[in-house]
Amino acid sequence: MIIVTGGAGFIGSNVVRALTERGSDDVIVVDDLTDGHKFVNISDLNIADYLDKDDFLARLSSDQKFAKGITAILHLGACSETTEWDGRFMMRNNYSYSQKLLHHCLEHGQQFIYASSAAVYGGSSEFVEDPLFEKPLNVYGYSKIQFDRYVRRVAANAEGQVVGLRYFNVYGPREQHKGSMASVAFHFNNQIREEGVANLFTGTDGYDDGEQLRDFVYIDDISKVNLWFLDNPGASGIFNVGTGRAQSFNDVANAVIQWHGKGKIRYVVFPDHLKGAYQSFTQADLTQLRQSGCDVEFRPVEDGVKHYLDQL
Residues with a known catalytic role = 140, 178
Gyration radius of the chain's alpha carbons: 19
Q: Is there a contact between 283 and 215 (Cβ–Cβ < 8 Å)?
A: yes
Please give the DSSP secondary-structure letter assigned to residue 293.
T
DSSP run (H or E) holding 169: strand 169-171
Q: Give CA–CA dist 184/189, Å, rounded.
A: 8
CB atoms within 10 A of CB 302: 14
CA distances from residue 16 to 27, 55, 104, 161 in whole angstroms, order as listed: 7, 20, 21, 20
Q: Which amino acid is at 207?
A: Y
| Of 121, 94, 276, nearest in space to 214 by CA | 121
Q: How far is CA 63 from the centre of its chain?
A: 30
